[in-house]
Amino acid sequence: MKNRNVKKFSIKMQKKLVVLFILLLFLFIGLIIRLVWITRENETDYQKQVLSQQQYTSTTIPFRRGNILDVKGTRLATSEKVYNLVIDAKVMNYRSQYLEPTLKALGDNFDLDMTAIRAHVTTNKKSSWYVPLRQLTYEEISGFQEAQQADSNIQGVWFEEEYRRIYPYGSLASDVIGFSDRDNMGRYGLEEYYNDTLNGVNGREYGYLNDDLTLERTVKSAVDGYDLHSTIDANLQMMVEKYLKQYNDEQTDAFTKGNGAENVGCVMMDVNTGEVLAMASYPPYDLNDVRNTDSLLGTRLLEEITNAAGYKEIRKTDTVITEEVLASLSEEQLYVNLNYLWQNYCITGTYEPGSTAKPFTVASALEDGVISPDLNLECNGVMEIGGYDIKCHNGPEGWLTLEQAVANSCNVSMMKIAQLMGTDEFCEFQQIFNIGLKTNIDLAGEARTANLVYVADNMGPTDLATNSFGQNYNVTMIEMIAGFCSLINGGYYYEPHVVNKITNSNGATVQNIEPRILKQTVSESTSELIRQYCRAVVAYGTGVTARPAGYMIGGKTGTAETIDPNTNKRSETEHVVSFIGYAPADDPQIAIYVVVDRPNSDKQGNARYATKIVRNILTEALPYLNIFMTEEVSEEERQELEALQLSITSQYTQTPESGEEPENGEGAEENQTGQEGNNGTGGEGNGGTGSEGGQEGNSPEGGQGAAEQPWMAYPVDPETGYRVDPATGRSYDAQTGAPIDQGESVPDPGIPVNPNLPVNPNME
C-alpha cells in the first residue's frame, strides 16, 4: 500500500532547484575570478601580511679577518672568536619564573652591576636588545652556558658572535702591521694596504615557521678573509727592535730631557729580491692597545696650527711629553700625537740623506762616462761655488783615488764629480735610482718626495754641489735602501715588497707575489766598483765602527744638517746621522739602513750613533741567517760574542706576550742554533781586525799595527774624548782610530735652503 503522506517532487520544484544551482555556479565562478585577480594584483601585499604574522629570525654570521704571518708562518696578527652578551627583556619577562633565576645566573657568572641590569629589565619589558658586555671569550661565557643548560628557567640571554683582532707579539713590527678597528677597517701598514684582501664576506642564517609551525633554517655561510704571508722574519724583527730600544735607553735624557732621538729607524732588505726582512722605528706601540699613551712619554709634543695660508699643519714643540702633559691634553691634541706615533717613519719620514748619497753620485758619473775608475781628485778642503765657500769636513786631503774619496767621505771630490756631470745628467740619474719617486712598497702611507728634490730646470751650481753629497733634497728610508740595493747587486732595481704570498682560509694559494725587477740602474762593472769603495769605507774609512765581529761588510756613513723650523735656516747643531750597508762584503745578501734623527747629544754630527746600532744588529743577525764569518775574531770580540749568546739564550726562550709559541717549531730556538753554529768559526785572532781592536791589515798602506798608527800620538780633546790631528783638526776615535764621521754637512749656514723642502722635516 502506498504512503499517501509523501509528496511528489514536482516539476516546479525541480525547476527552482536548477535555477538555484545555476546561480550558485555563477557565484562560485565569480569568486574564482575575483581570487585570481586579487592574487595577480595584490599578491605581494598579502604575502607581507601573512609573513608578518609568522615568527622569523635573521642572524649575521661574521667572517674571520685573515691572518698576517711572518716568513716562517708565525702569526703576527690573527682574529679570535668573541661573544657579546645580549639581554632580551621581553623574553625574560614572558613568564614570571624566568626573571629571578636568569638575573642570579648573570650575577654569578659576569662582572655586572646587577642593580642596573634589574632596573633595565623591569622598566623596559618590551626591549629585545641590550648589550652590557662585549668581546667575551669562550671561557668567560662557558659558566653561564652550563647554568643555562641545567635550568630551563634561565631565559632571555644569548650571545652574539664576532671576531676580535689580536696581535700575539704585542708591539712587534707595529709599523709594518698596522691595526684594524672594530669595523674591520685597517689602519696603517699591511692592515690598511691589504684591507680588502684581509676582509671576507659576512654570512647570514635565516629562520622561519612553515605552514606546520615547524622552524625552518637557511644558512648562507660566511667567506673568511685571505691570509697574508709576509717577508718579515719575526726573529730578525726582534733583533732590530731590541737594539733600537737599547740605543734609546742609553741616550734618553743624555743631553736634554726626552728620548734618545727624535726618530730612529732601521730597514733590513734582501738585496736580490727587494723583500723587506725587518722594518722598525722607535718608539713602537702596542697593537693590542693602540691608544695606550706610554709610548708617547719622552717624545716631543705635537700641535696643530693654522698657517698664514689658512691650512692646518702639524709642528713639534719644545715640550717633552710627560704624565702631567698627557693629563692636560684634549682628546683632539691626544689624537694628533697618537696619529704621529702610528706612522711608519721608514716610509713616511723625509730627511736629507747626507753622505750616504755619495755612492750614488760616483756610480752615476761612472755610468755616464765622465769619470773613470783610475781618476784622482785633489781636495784642498774647500770649493767656492756660487759665491759660497763649501768645505770638506776632513779639511785638505790632497790627492785621492775614487775609493779614498768615498772611504774618507770627501765633499770636495763629490762636488768636482757633479760638475763634470752637469745638472741634466745628475737629475736624470737621480730619477733612475728612484730618488723623488715613490717605491710603491705594499704598505700604507708612503710619502711622496717629488716636490722635495730638484729638477734640472731649477738646479743651480750651488744646488748641484750640495746635492752631490746628499744635502738640500729629501728622501725616505725606503727610497734610499731600494736604490742602494741596486748599486751593489749588479744594478738590478727590485720593487720593495712586504708580502710574498696570499692564501685562502683552507691554505690554498690565491696569489704568489714574485720579486719584480723594474729596471737596471747601473752595469755590473760599476756595481762591482761601488762594492769595492763601500768595503773601503768600513775597512779604513768613516764606517770602521759598523763592522761586526768576524765579518767584513760594506757601506757608507752619512751626516746631514736639519732645518730650523722657526728660522727656515740650516741648524749647525742638529743633525741626522745614518749608515747604509750590506753583508757580506764579497757576496751581498742583505742590506741594512739605520737612521738616527737628531740624537740626544750635544755632539749630534757623529755617525757612530748609527754604526753602533748596525754593528749590534749584524753581530746577532748574520749568524742567524747562516752567513759564516769571514774574518778572525780577537779575544775581546770572542768574549763579546759569548756574552751576546747568553743574552740571546735568555731572551728568545721567552714566549710572546699572549703566551703563544711560534708556530711550526720555528722562531726563537732556531735563532739560538744559528748563533751557536757560527760563533767563533773565525778561529783564534790576534786582535786588530775588529772595530774595537784597531785597523790592522785594513789600512790602505796595509799591515800597520795599532801602535804604529799616527793617530795614537794625537792629543785627546777632553770635551769630546776624541784624538784630534793638530794639523788638520780632524777627529779620530781614541780607541780604534776610526775617523769620526761628523761635519759632513755644509758647514756654512749661509748656503741657501731648497725652498721646496718642508720647514719641519719628517712632517708630511
Calculate mean pLDDT across residues 115-125: 89
- pLDDT score, position 36: 80
Please answer whether residues 258 and 300 qualify as being in contact, where contact means their C-beta atoms are separated by less than 8 angstroms: yes
Return the higher-pLDDT residue of 708 and 590.
Answer: 590
Ranges 2-16, 164-178, 356-370, 425-439: which has the least confidence: 2-16
Provide the 3-class DSSP secondary structure of residue 388. Answer: strand
**Minimal CA–CA distance to 688: which of 709, 715, 710?**
709
Q: At 380, is the secondary structure helix, strand, or coil?
A: coil
Nearest to 737 by CA among 711, 713, 714, 719: 711
- Please tell me the distance from the alpha carbon of residue 568 to that of residue 252, in angstroms, as a whole number: 27
Interatomic CA distance for residues 453 and 472, integer angstroms: 8
Strands of 584-706 (E only): list them.
Answer: 590-599
Between 610 and 723, residue with greater pLDDT: 610
Most confident of 147-161, 334-348, 550-564: 334-348
- Joined together, the cell numbers standing for residue 698 give 785594513
Q: Residue 712 pLDDT > 70, yes or no?
A: no
Rounded CA-CA distance 76/279 in Å is 14
The grid coordinates listed for 488 are 751593489
Alpha helices in 433-583 (DSSP H): 461-468, 477-488, 524-540
Angle 223-224-230 from CA coordinates, rounded to 5°: 145
Of the listed ranges 82-86, 87-91, 546-550, 684-688, the least confidently predicted one is: 684-688
With contact defined as beta carbons under 8 Å apart, do 109 and 144 qualify? yes
Supply the pLDDT for residue 649.
72
CA distance 411 to 687: 33
Contact between 243 and 613 under an 8 Å Cβ cutoff? The reply is yes
Order the strands of the 215-220 sheet from edge to edge: 56-61, 203-209, 215-220
Residue 466 is predicted with a pLDDT of: 94
- Residue 214 predicted with pLDDT over 70: no
Q: Which amino acid is at 646?
A: L
> Does residue 677 register a pLDDT over 60?
no
Q: Residue 84: pLDDT above 70?
A: yes
Question: How far apart are the C-alpha atoms of 197 and 154, rounded to whole Å?
Answer: 42
Assess whether pLDDT exceeds 90 at residue 688.
no
Query: Looking at per-residue confidence, does 712 or 263 come out higher?
Result: 263
Q: Is the dihedral of CA 365, 367, 369, 373 positive or negative?
A: positive
Q: How far apart are CA 402 and CA 374, in angstroms?
A: 7
Percent of the chain at pLDDT above 70? 80
Q: How confident is the model at residue 675 (pLDDT cuts 50, 70, 90)?
A: very low
Mean pLDDT over 626-639 rounds to 88
d(CA 240, CA 282): 10
597 forms beta bridges with 263, 576
Which of 576-585, 661-670, 753-762 is predicted least confidently? 661-670
Query: Residue 711's pLDDT band (boundaries 50, 70, 90)?
Result: low
Q: How does the average pLDDT of the chain come out, rounded?
A: 84
Taking the C-alpha atoms of residue 624 and residue 652, their distance in angstroms, rounded to an integer, is 12
Going from the C-alpha of 683 to that of each of 438, 620, 648, 672, the distances in angstroms are 45, 18, 22, 20
pLDDT surpassing 90 at residue 29: no
Residue 426 in this model has a pLDDT that exceeds 50: yes
User: Within the chain, how many helices (H) and strands (E) appear?
Assistant: 22, 27
Residue 478 main-chain phi, psi, to 5 deg? -70, -30
Residue 390 neighbours by CB under 8 Å, 6+ apart: 382, 383, 384, 411, 415, 462, 465, 466, 746, 748, 751
pLDDT value at residue 684: 33
Q: Which is higher by pLDDT, 679 or 563?
A: 563
CA angle 29-31-34, nearest 5°? 110
Q: Of 456-460, 524-528, 665-669, where does mean pLDDT reach its minimum?
A: 665-669
pLDDT at position 201: 93
Mean pLDDT along residues 467-490: 97
pLDDT at residue 657 in the model:
46
Residue 650 has pLDDT above 70, yes or no: no
Q: H or E element: which one contains 384?
A: strand 382-385
Average the pLDDT over 537-564 and give the result: 93
- pTM of the predicted model as reported, rounded to 2 decimal places: 0.81
* Confidence band for 413, pLDDT divided at 50, 70 and 90: very high
Q: Write down the pLDDT at residue 636.
A: 85
Point out the least confidently predicted range of 7-21, 28-42, 201-215, 583-597: 201-215
Strands 731-732 and 300-306: unpaired
Distance (Å, whole) CA 438 – CA 77: 27
Could you give the CA distance from residue 417 to residue 398 in angstroms, rounded to a whole number? 16
User: Would you state the pLDDT for residue 45?
Assistant: 65
Q: Contact, 478 vs 350, CB < 8 A?
A: no
**pLDDT for position 721:** 62
* 269 touches 280 (CB < 8 A): no
Average of pLDDT values for 649-654?
59
Three-state DSSP state, 479: helix
| Predicted pLDDT of residue 680 | 39
d(CA 220, CA 226): 19
pLDDT at residue 74 above 80? Answer: yes
- For residues 540 and 719, the answer to whether their CB atoms sit within 8 Å is no
How far is the C-alpha of 276 from the C-alpha of 344, rounded, in Å? 14
Q: pLDDT tens digits for 693-706?
A: 333 333 333 333 33
Q: Are 494 and 485 in contact (CB under 8 A)?
A: yes
The CA distance from 283 to 297, in Å, is: 10
Confidence (pLDDT) at 332: 93
Q: Give residue 683's pLDDT band: very low, low, confident or very high (50, 70, 90).
A: very low
**More confidently predicted of 645 and 278:** 278
DSSP letters spanning 401-421: EHHHHHHTT-HHHHHHHHHHH
pLDDT of amino acid 671? 41
Determine the pLDDT at residue 695: 34
Omega before 749 cis (within 30°)? Answer: no
Residues 236-259: what's their mean pLDDT?
A: 96
672 pLDDT more than 70: no
pLDDT computed for residue 572 by the predictor: 80
d(CA 512, CA 499) in angstroms, rounded, equals 9
The pLDDT value recorded for residue 736 is: 56
Range 645-674 average pLDDT: 50
- Quick one: pLDDT band at residue 692, thresholds 50, 70, 90? very low
- Residue holding cell 769595492? 532
DSSP SS3 for 667:
coil
Beta bridge partners of 605: none
- Residues written for the chain: 764
pLDDT band at residue 726 using 50, 70 and 90 as cut-offs: low
Give the three cell numbers for residue 27: 557565484
User: Once rounded to an integer, what is the mean pLDDT over residues 486-508?
Assistant: 96
Query: Computed from CA positions of residues 747, 748, 754, 760, in that sequence, does the dihedral angle turn out positive or negative?
Result: positive
**Domains in the chain, CATH or no CATH each:** 59-230 (3.90.1310.10), 348-732 (3.40.710.10)
The pLDDT of residue 363 is above 60: yes
Cβ(247)–Cβ(260) below 8 Å:
yes
SS3 of 168-206: the string is CCCCCCHHHHCEECCCCCEECHHHHHCHHHHCCECEEEE
DSSP character string of 91-157: HHTTSHHHHHHHHHHHHHHS---HHHHHHHHHH-TT---EEEEEEE-HHHHHHHHHHHHH-TT--SE
What pLDDT is stored for residue 669 in this prediction?
38
Please report the pLDDT score of residue 756 as a whole number.
61
Residue type, 465: A
**What's the rounded mean pLDDT across residues 203-231?**
80
The predicted structure's pLDDT at residue 690? 33
- Over residues 370-391, the mean pLDDT reads 92
> What is the predicted pLDDT for the residue at 667?
41
> Strands 68-69 and 227-230, how do they pair?
parallel
Query: For 87-91, 373-377, 531-535, which range has the lowest pLDDT when averaged over its residues?
Result: 87-91
Q: Indicate the pairing of strand 157-166 with strand 179-180.
A: unpaired
pLDDT of 666 higher than 80 = no
Are residues 270 and 278 in contact, defined by beta-carbon separation less than 8 angstroms? no
Q: Examine the pLDDT at 213 and tell me if it is beyond 70.
A: no
Q: Which of 245, 303, 353, 346 is nearest to 575 (CA)?
A: 353
Please confirm whether the linkage preceding 359 is cis (ω < 30° from 0): no
Gap between the Cα atoms of 604 and 613, Å rounded? 15
The kind and range of the H/E element at 349 are none
What are the angstrom distances between the C-alpha of 625 and each of 494, 588, 691, 693? 21, 13, 22, 25
